[in-house]
Structure 1
Amino acid sequence: MNGTLKRAALACLLMFGLLMLNVNYLGAVKAEDYRTDARNQRAFYARYSVDRGWITADNGKTTLAKTVETDSDYRFERQYPNGKMYAHILGFFAPESSRGIELAAGKYLDGSHPDLLVRRAIDFISNEPPKGASVDLTIIPKAQEVAYNALRASGKRGAIVAMNPRTGAVQVMVSLPTYDPNTIAVPNKSTAAKAYNKLDADEQDPLLNRATEKTYPPGSTFKVVTAAEFLEDDPSRTPETQVAAPQVLDLPQTTVGLPNYGGAACGGGQVSLRYALERSCNTPFAKFGMELGWDKMREQAAKFGMGEPIPFTLPVAKSDIGPEEELAALAQLSIGQRNNQMTPLQMLLVAAGIANNGEVMKPYLINKIVGPDGGVLDETEPDPMSEAVSSEVAGKLKDMMVSVVQAGTATAAQIPGVSVAGKTGTAEHGNSPSPHAWFIGFAPADNPEVAVCVFIESGSAGTDATGGHTAAPLAKDVMQAVLSAK
């Protein structure tokens, strides 16, 4: 009898041990899988039981995303008052996913961040729904609206992004085509999935943030980078330094020459560096690149942030000048072609670095995090990213970029009473007859408050194809809007 009891007791202990082992396995190892499982309705309802923090701009004066209480089983619902205008910044808060600021600042917005631990405890004790913190962005709403309407009026795909070059605060970020995040941010899995899948299948790719998530050949805007290394390489060089500017540049190891845009002549074959940048001559800058070599060109590009992902609030595709090849390839990438691929955000940093006396600031979108009680939990401080060029070289580049706007290819970016610096770009790509159109610049040139990059995807064909014709006027509108909002 005792033996039977012992065996039964051992069996019970063994089963109890196995049960506890399984409980611990489920709790410690599989808990996250079960919590995020699409079939877990408890997690789904919990997602909409939080009074999610609002997303604002202009120190809380403009509401970009808000939470409203409903009478349904889902207590709260997310809404975006101007969803299409801010879609690529805000992203969306959907039943099973998030994107944009909704994802990047998600723990603050849903109240799960450690900074909100006391707040969560108070809500629990008082039987109130959990409250998240609000996120205030650096965007200037009036300038954002101007950029959005200007790009939409062009009828083209593209992006416009602007920032304060002295701080890195992003003032404008627009990408077209866009989408309405309200169609995805509904507390219904099937409806949200259907809306998302429709956008995802759209050939125009409206979900893509063209300002940050894709790279394109930058065309002649990259000549600013080439000019930067040309000046850094020899401090005695100035905007008035005479440089060779043939109508066609002979390239090594090939019978194909590199011409200026449209096959035009560049002065009389010998011009000042200022004139070469003003007229956006190809041959001088292609020649500079070959003479400087791959190592120096890559090093200069890296100082502006190329070759590594840019640290930013939102995902950013890596910009790069491409792998080392023959010298002919180096000549082409030195004028922004070949395998040279940049995001508009990256080219914005080129303009901003020059505007800020050679120092590139880390770009950022979040101004501050404000708790449910109104207290500031976190506030972004300006943070230098790199020194792209010396202040002396930055001054020379700034001087030449002012000439580009005053008397060169970017006269359409002129603002009455304001000195503007800039550079246009027209980039061939694939077999398309319509090149990309670019403009980078800043204003006021002597005390910059805004740097901007305008990118028009497959802008136009023929005489309307250039960045000076297509992109520069939009940049003017955006810079004016930022300056008038001060």
Structure 2
Amino acid sequence: MTKQLRRLSVVVLLMFISLFAATSWIQVAIAGELSANPENRRTLYDSYEVQRGTIFAGGTAIATSVPSNDLYSWSRSYPDAEMWAPVTGFINPVLRSSTGLEQAMNAALAGTGSQQFLTRVEQIVSGQPARGSNVLLSLDPALQQVAYDSLDGYEGAVVALEPDTGRILALATSPSFDTNLLASHNSSEVNAADQQLNDDPLRPKINRVTSETDPPGSTFKLVVTAAALASGEYTPESTFDNPATFTLPGTDTDIHNFDRGTCGRGDEVTLETALRLSCNIPMAELALELGTDAIREQAEKFGFNSTFEIPLDVTASSYPEGLNEPQTALSGFGQTDVRATPLQVAMISAAIANEGIVMNPRMVDRVVASDLTVQDEPADTEFGRAMTAEDAATLTEMMVGNVENGAASGARIDGVDVAGKTGTAEHNPGDPYTLWFTGFAPAENPEVVVAVMVQNGGGLGQEGTSSGIAAPIAKRVIEAVLSE
């Protein structure tokens, strides 16, 4: 009997230990993960029992809590909602969903994160009402306004960041939407507004900076040129054949330069001229010489095929494995299955501006409790080195030529050396192009990197040009930074 009781005691003890371990794991080890999970409805509902923290951009409140006269106690209010929609997102118990920073920073804003534990205890002991923490962003409201206004009438995106820190200064998309419509607690109004937005063919709820991938067009020539310089076998003076038509190997498909002529005069063209005039044929020739593996390796050094959290989730840009020769040639000017987000295109320029080092992009500077205690202060971190400082300086000089007397002349600023590259991405025959620009300034001491993507040809079909539409948008953003 004693032996049986001993066995039973051991079993009960083991069950107790297992239960203790399981609860400890849930309450400590994965508490943050569970709290951040958008499927965790209790976290969503509990977050309305406290005064949710405010999201600030440069001292301006862009998401606040206001008292509600229903069972949720508080509701969210979004000043300048359309301008900030891709940043703040929205949170709503009626829709049982949240997006943007409202989702990504929910634990901090609701005061349920592990870093808010001591603050919660203090509030309980002192009898203070529960409050979430405030989130202070790196974004500049004035620059955000310029970026958003510059997109008026276009489908597209603008992102600006500091090359040496990765701090995002502006993140705007167009068309956008009024997040207040989806913050209401009136179920019929919210569901109707949500359905209307979901049915809109212009997809205003999409964050085009972080979630939209398009062929990067000729902006990808920066990656191919970086791979060429890194090989040690090419310089800006390296030459390529200069025909007006090039047949993709193993096919009867011809490709052309944008103006369907040769890349400048002569039977040969230098790499510098090919990049400056944004010619497709010599870059296709270069891509074939480098090979798909070398290009993919270089692309991945810039961040392709990787996901990022800023803390918004960023869709991975892609340079796929196993491209055949025709596909490799097309990838030389950012076509075929190469796809990139505007943030990734900005990261290419940022690496060049930062002497070859890619910084992880971020948009949160601090998390601050209601008593002004700093609970979190994310540091600047490196993703990795994409190229040597010497190659970055060479590529910067080539990009300056693009703006001074090349295909990116729409970004010229008097008295300032701007380094830039345009891109025109093709889709199906007859479809409007996607127009790109990426660059930085001043070239000799970069303060800001900008990437612009304008979809649907800027409303001009195949008549819209990157230098005429995308580059001037970037110019306005750069001027706004340099005038501060």
TM-score with structure 1 length normalisation?
A: 0.88
Check the 8 A contact 2:67/2:74 in 1, yes or no: yes
Q: Deviations 1:193-219 (Å, cap 9, x if unpaired)?
A: 332232122211111111111210111
Q: CA deviation at 1:371?
A: 1.0
Instruction: Write the distance in 1 (CA, Å) between the matches of 2:45 and 2:326.
Output: 60
Q: Which residue of the partner structure matches residue 347 of structure 1?
A: 345
- One of 168, 171, 183 as aligned partner of 1:170: 168
Question: Could you say what secondary structure the match of 1:203 adopts?
Answer: coil
| CA displacement at 1:231 relative to structure 2 | 1.1
Identity of aligned residues (%): 39
Distance 1:279 1:190, change over 3 A: same
1:289 and 1:334 in contact (8 A); partners too: yes
SS in structure 2 opposite 1:48? helix
- Larger deviation, residues 408-417 vs 267-276: 267-276
> Secondary structure of 2:259's match?
helix
Tell me the amino acid that sits aligned with residue 482 of structure 2.
L
Indicate the SS of the match to 2:151: helix
CA distance in 2, matches of 1:53, 1:269: 64
Deviation at 1:311, TM superposition (A): 4.1
CA distance in 1, matches of 2:363, 2:375: 16
Larger CA deviation: 71-80 vs 160-169:
71-80
Matching residue of 2:249: 252
1:186 alignment partner, one of 179, 184, 187 = 184
Kept in 2: contact 1:136–1:369 (CA 8 A): yes
Any conservation in 1 of the 2:38–2:103 contact (CA below 8 Å)? Answer: no
Aligned-pair Cα RMSD in Å: 2.8
Larger Cα-atom Rg: 1
Q: Distance in 2 between matches of 1:355 and 1:43?
A: 42
Cα distance in 2 for partners of 1:44, 1:288 equals: 53
1:186 counterpart SS class: coil
Is the counterpart of residue 51 in structure 1 residue 66 in structure 2?
Answer: no
Equivalent residue runs for 1:373-384 within 5 Å? 373-384=371-382
Q: 1:247 and 1:114 mapped to 2: Cα distance? A: 62
CA shift in 2, pair 1:381/1:43, >3 Å: closer
Query: CA shift at 1:72, angstroms?
Result: 4.5
Distance 1:445 1:156, change over 3 A: same
Shift of the 71–447 alpha-carbon distance from structure 1 to 2, 3 Å rule, reads same
Deviation at 1:157, TM superposition (A): 0.6
| Structure 1: 5+ residue stretches without partners | 1-23
Instruction: Give, in whole Å, the separation in 2 of the partners of 1:435 and 1:43.
Output: 43
- Contact map agreement 1:426 1:465 (CA 8 A) in 2: no
Q: Secondary structure at the match of 1:168?
A: coil
Q: Pick closer, same or farther for the CA change 1:453–1:37 going to 2, 3 Å.
A: closer
Alpha-carbon displacement from aligned partner over 1:19-50 (angstroms, at most 9, x marks no partner): xxxxx9xx98xx999xx999x9x987644221
The 10-residue stretch of structure 1 (187-196 or 355-364) with the greater mean CA deviation from structure 2: 187-196
Alignment size in residue pairs: 456
| Cα distance in structure 2, aligned partners of 1:195 and 1:47 | 23
Partner of 1:469: 468
SS, match of residue 120 in structure 2: helix
**1:89 and 2:94 correspond:** no
Letter matched to residue 204 of structure 1: L
Supply the distance in 1 between the matched residues of 2:49 and 2:145 (Cα, whole angstroms).
33
Query: What is the rounded CA distance, in whole Å, between the counterparts of 2:230 and 2:138 in structure 1?
Result: 33
Q: CA deviation at 1:252?
A: 1.4
Cα pair distance change 1:247/1:37, threshold 3 Å: closer
How has the CA–CA distance of structure 1 residues 127 and 432 changed in structure 2, closer, same or farther, with 3 Å as cutoff?
farther
Question: Match of 1:91, as an amino acid?
Answer: G
In the aligned structure 1, how far is the partner of 2:483 from the partner of 2:137?
A: 19
What's 1:110 paired with? 110
Partner SS, residue 275 of structure 1: helix
